[in-house]
Structure 1
Amino acid sequence: MPPPLPRRPDPRVAGVLHLDLDAFFAAVEQRDKPSLRGRPVVVGGTGLRGVVATASYEARRFGIGSAMPTGQARRLCPNAAYLAGRFGAYRIVSEQVMAIARELSPAVEPMSLDEAYVDLALAHEGLTTEDAVEIAKEFRTRVRARTGLTVSVGVGRSKLTAKIASDLRKPDALVVVAPEDEADLLRPLEVSRLPGVGHVTGERLRRSGIRTIGDLAAVEEDELVRMFGKAHGTGLAAFARGFDPRPVVAEREAKSVSAEETFAVDLTDRRDLDERVRRMAERVAARLTTSGLSGRTVTIKVRRYDFSTLNRSRTLAHSTGSAGEIAEHARELLAAVDVADGVRLLGVGVSGLTEFAQIDLLADLLADSDTEDHTEGGEAGADPVDGVAAGGIHPLTSPAPYGPAAPAERDWSPGQDVTHPEHGSGWVQGSGVGRVTVRFEGPHTPPGRILTFRADDPDLAAAPPPVFEPPVLEPAVPDPAPEPSA
């Protein structure tokens, strides 16, 4: 059945729901690893030059946040658990949550693995604010029962209000904003809560004495256009007044597929860089194959020693999904870039995506540490306020193939799922100098014991994510029938 056509939200009805799983990646790790529950957990690049993807709420108390360099996070909280991330596990949970959301309405717009909009009014004729409250309560209960995780939910008459509402009382919160209450809710909030108000825009507004959404709403649209240009100024004026006509789009097309690697030391050897390009091209081709896509534009991203970033692209005469062809063009693009002073980060991507084309090479999905795979998605056009297409899957390290590998390929990542014929299932706590330390436990066990093995131990193998089984609730026992009166 085709997805419903997008439609503007009805401004008279609180009919748009925004869901946001709380500290998603870290929460999945704590769920599956009982020894980490209640402890600070940081997921992302584990090397000193990596970047934090998600921090648990315990870690956030130390000042750790998303996009922070891992080296800085380690200085703030050296005793946290630093894990490389398990994309496969997060994807499973995301699919479960999105399936529950689609039972509320056919119009579900995923923004990432842990975030989505739902058009409740499309599926519930005559929806009232009271109805929205009950629907959202039931949704949160079902998500927790199915996944063991908490989700913050906001409901409002637009994407703007629903998103702001879901962020107000995180974690594990529900905020439903009736249309008649929207202005009072938005007015005192900091202007930085609006889409399109980043550091630069926020600073310009603050210098003009505009600190709250109410302050911004009082400024004439012409003045904002003079300050920020037509598109940005008009968008800010509309959002400040609570006007957001963006529809909930049920299907979001992928715009590009890419892979990136951040290096522990700056690289200058072109042969080494060319080999990295080849491996990233294979991973990109594998993801294109899995998604049934191919693309016409090959892109490289080079971040140099001084943090300056270059992007180079080439559009082909035909669509491709071949790892060899992607690597060939990416190498040629890289050859025109000066790398003598060192490369800190390198990425390869394909955009201009179309339906599947014949692919002549399937790639090895083995990922290196501190690497990032991206599938970027968005609406057909960029957001009129911030100029950036919304959506996208958060970059994370891809899991190694399950099962034993040749000793030369053993590269154990912190947090990785493993299995042992004698000790059962567990996860990697750390590795180095030819050893790997494993804690044997799972989502339904007590904290497990720790054992150390040789890194090339043939009995230790990579494993799929553990299965989380929702608790089986005992049926309620009815009260005994009252005794008949004499």
Structure 2
Amino acid sequence: MRSTASVLHLDLDAFFAAVEQRDKPSLRGKPVIVGGVGGRGVVATASYEARAFGVRSAMSTREARARCPHAAFLTGRFHAYRESSSKVMAVLRAASPLVEPLSLDEAFLDLAEAGLPDLEVPTVVAYGEEIRARVAEVSGGLTATVGIGTSKFIAKVASELDKPDGLTVVPPGTERDLLLPMKVTVIPGVGPATNERLRRAGIHTVADLDRVTEDELVRLLGRAQGHDLHRLARAEDDRPVVADRETKSVSAEGTYATDLTDRRLMEGLLTRQAVQVGERLRKHGLSGRTVTIKVRLHDFTTMSRSSTLSSPTDSSSAIARLAKSLLADLDTSGGVRLLGVGVSGLADWVQEDLFGDAEDDQVDDVLPDLSQLGASGLGGSTYWPGMDVVHDEMGPGWVWGSGRGVVTVRFETAHTPPGPVRSYSVDDPALSLATIPAMD
């Protein structure tokens, strides 16, 4: 256990929604919900204005529309999120050599490696505020909440106390005072099922948990979870900040709001995912022996199929060929709502000419024409709410809504005032999707 508050947890506030509000001036200060916009969609992130109406992550879009019908419901723009995340992570890595990203919008940072003159509370508070200011500067105004404590667990808890746009330091020695009044759900791993088992045992708060012996918790929850909860209830957490977590696999997947039934289309989508996986493998100097596909059917049944090669590969063509052969063994006639391709069994070397004439520059030749597909790989309208577009005369804008052969666009950018709204035919030659910049 650390004797100083030297673990920092940074969490970008309502990240996806905040990026949309940054880039769409007309949405600033208004409820924004990012996620699936169809009837079976799920909320990925809700702005704080939408959260005031009870909208939460993982809520169905249908319920979110009922709670906040006047919100802007947008599909995700992951290129914009990745770009912003990359800038923020660069700030953190400049602050300390030990940074452990957890997702696009969340990371731990080890202040003991940051070269500070001391790790007293005033020093780490000032440093945390400096990091938050730098994050806002490089990201175009995104806010972050920071928690600092003697462990990952305490830093994570602290970052939830002053949201949004706040900073909390838990001084060494006060950890248990902070935790004891809190509900047991503050502890990682206490989800709905575990919370219900604890509730039935009369355990509602961390203080209740603190009074239970480890043996009792093991009998109630099992050895691993019982041991972990016993330690965390006492603020015991010695996990280090790990800068480079070992990559176990590389994968890509997509979820579709309309069930896919065309086998040729599924093969094309798997091939495109294989291209993405191959590019990521080659970028990091990796290869893999096992190719796996993941398929979720219309009834939510999820299946996977794998094939292991005699030698590792980083060839997109090889991965695509195996993925399509695995798909051929599955009955997808009822419709598919998710497809994914992954490579595991990673190595840092490649066996050349694994498939002879299957060159990566030939991959595009086997793709079907997907030009009429929407943002999620669906038939129908090319335009989905939130997508970036460009008009020959009006310039850049974003899709406000579409349907019945008409697309409505608001013309504005992050650097302009709220702009005008215009409607066009979906096949208007002057209107097109904006080019997505390539990520390094």
Q: TM-score range by the shorter chain?
A: 0.7 to 0.9
Match of 1:454 among 411, 425, 437: 425
The offset of 1:272, in angstroms, is 4.5
- Look up the SS of the partner of 2:270 in the other structure: helix
- Look up the SS of the partner of 1:184 in the other structure: helix
The answer on whether the counterparts of 2:50 and 2:71 sit within 8 Å (CA) in structure 1 is yes
Distance 1:414 1:121 in 2: 44
- Look up the SS of the partner of 2:340 in the other structure: strand
Q: Which structure exhibits the higher relative contact order, with contacts defined as CA atoms closer than 8 Å and separated by 6 or more residues?
A: 1
Answer yes or no: is 1:86 the counterpart of 2:98.
Answer: no
The offset of 1:290, in angstroms, is 4.5
Q: Unpaired segments of 5 or more residues in structure 2?
A: 353-357
Counterpart amino acid of residue 384 in structure 2: S
Distance 1:289 1:48 in 2: 38
Pairing of 1:380-391 with structure 2 (within 5 A) = none
Match of 1:134 among 107, 126, 135: 126
Counterpart amino acid of residue 38 in structure 1: G
Give a deviation string over 1:223-274, Cα, whole Å, max 9, x none: 2222222222211111111111111111234333333333334445544443
Counterpart amino acid of residue 111 in structure 2: L
- Look up the SS of the partner of 1:315 in the other structure: strand
Provide the residue aligned with 1:260 in structure 2: 253
Flag the 1:292–1:423 CA change in 2: closer, same or farther, 3 A.
Answer: farther
Provide the residue aligned with 1:197 in structure 2: 190
Counterpart amino acid of residue 45 in structure 1: G
Distance 2:128 2:256 in 1: 44
Provide the residue aligned with 1:483 in structure 2: none
Flag the 1:61–1:282 CA change in 2: closer, same or farther, 3 A.
Answer: same
Provide the residue aligned with 1:360 in structure 2: 359
Match of 2:165 among 169, 172, 176: 172
Counterpart amino acid of residue 139 in structure 1: I
RMSD: 2.8
Normalising by structure 1, report the TM-score: 0.79
Distance 2:412 2:201 in 1: 56
Provide the residue aligned with 2:135 in structure 1: 143
- Look up the SS of the partner of 1:180 in the other structure: coil
Flag the 1:69–1:286 CA change in 2: closer, same or farther, 3 A.
Answer: farther
Distance 1:95 1:421 in 2: 31
The answer on whether the counterparts of 2:375 and 2:382 sit within 8 Å (CA) in structure 1 is no
Distance 2:425 2:287 in 1: 41
Distance 1:410 1:369 in 2: 6
Provide the residue aligned with 2:384 in structure 1: 413
Greater shift, 204-213 or 40-49, is seen at 40-49
Q: Unpaired segments of 5 or more residues in structure 1?
A: 1-9, 373-396, 398-407, 467-486
Normalising by structure 2, report the TM-score: 0.87
Distance 2:213 2:390 in 1: 63
- Look up the SS of the partner of 1:422 in the other structure: coil
The offset of 1:102, in angstroms, is 2.1
- Look up the SS of the partner of 1:141 in the other structure: helix
Pairing of 1:12-23 with structure 2 (within 5 A) = 12-23=3-14
Answer yes or no: is 1:240 the counterpart of 2:233.
Answer: yes
Answer yes or no: is 1:423 the counterpart of 2:394.
Answer: yes
The offset of 1:189, in angstroms, is 0.8
Aligned residue pairs: how many? 423
Flag the 1:464–1:189 CA change in 2: closer, same or farther, 3 A.
Answer: farther
Distance 2:86 2:264 in 1: 40
Answer yes or no: is 1:69 the counterpart of 2:60.
Answer: yes
- Look up the SS of the partner of 1:210 in the other structure: coil
The offset of 1:34, in angstroms, is 0.6
Provide the residue aligned with 2:45 in structure 1: 54
Flag the 1:354–1:48 CA change in 2: closer, same or farther, 3 A.
Answer: farther
